[in-house]
Amino acid sequence: MYSASDLRKNLKIQIDGEPYVIVDFEFSKPGKGQSLYRCKLKNMITGNQFDRTFRSVDTFEPASLEEKKMQYLYREENKYCFMDNETYEQVFLAEDQLEDARNFLIENLDVEILFFGDKALGITLPNFIDVTVTKADPWAKGDSVTGKTKPVEVETGYTVQVPPFVEEGEKIRIDTRTGEYITRVKD
């Protein structure tokens, strides 16, 4: 059980059987008054937000969330399919549940899917992925202007800024946390 002093942004708690994440948090204490823990809570399933103020005596159940290792299989319109390699169980996540992660989903990518019971809520990607550049303007070797970058498209349809020497067909490593180019990768 969490106590009020554990409350902080990003903590996940369960209220009335539903999982919530604290998206905003403020500790307040008017002079000589009680400590007030003011939270903005977001329902992890419905996305609904509401505000609630807790007191020092309040306690909270941690949200019973589970992460499962799964693999990305394919996309069907705006639903993305993931499979558990051991049980062959499949789940779908919608585009808005994936947010930016959908830019980094390559076939068979190993990810972790966050579950609340049997509801898939979200995804944790590996920190880095290696993707192929599918569209890039060619590099004229004489063009050695320092600090310039160019946009290229990679196999997931995502566009990223890279140094001018990166060519179509090459593989590059991207940091999924920032969406930025890290380095070229040799096969």
Partner 1 sequence: MIQAIRRFFIDRDYLDIETPLRVPTLAPEANIDAVPSDGWFLQTSPELCMKRLLAAGYSKIFQISKCFRGAERGRLHVPEFTMIEWYRSGADYRNLMDECEDLVLFVAEQLDRDGTVTFRGRSIELEKPWERISVRDAFLRYTPVTMEEALADDSFDEVMVTDIEPRLGRGTPTFLYDYPASRAALARKKKDDQTVAERFEIYMGGLELANAFSELTDPDEQRRRFDEEQEYRRQAGRTVYPPAEKFLQALANMPAAAGIALGIDRLAMIFTDSASIDDVVAFAPEEL
What residue ranges bind partner 1 (CB under 8 A)?
A: 5, 26-36, 38, 53, 56-57
Nearer to partner 1, 25 or 128 (CB): 25
The structure tokens listed for 6 are: 């554990």
Residue 22 Cβ, how far from partner 1 at the closest point, in Å?
Answer: 14
Q: Which is nearer to partner 1, 34 or 183 (CB)?
A: 34
The least CB distance from residue 9 to partner 1, in Å, is 12
27 or 50: CB nearest partner 1: 27
CA-based radius of gyration for the chain: 22
Got the DSSP string for 119-158? EEEEEE--SEEEEEEEE-PPPPTT---TT--EEEEETTS-
Residues 6+ positions from 86 with CB-CB distance below 8 Å: none
Question: Smallest distance from the beta carbon of 177 to partner 1, in angstroms?
Answer: 22
80, 86, 62: which is closest to 120 by C-alpha? 80
Minimum Å distance from CB 16 to partner 1?
A: 22
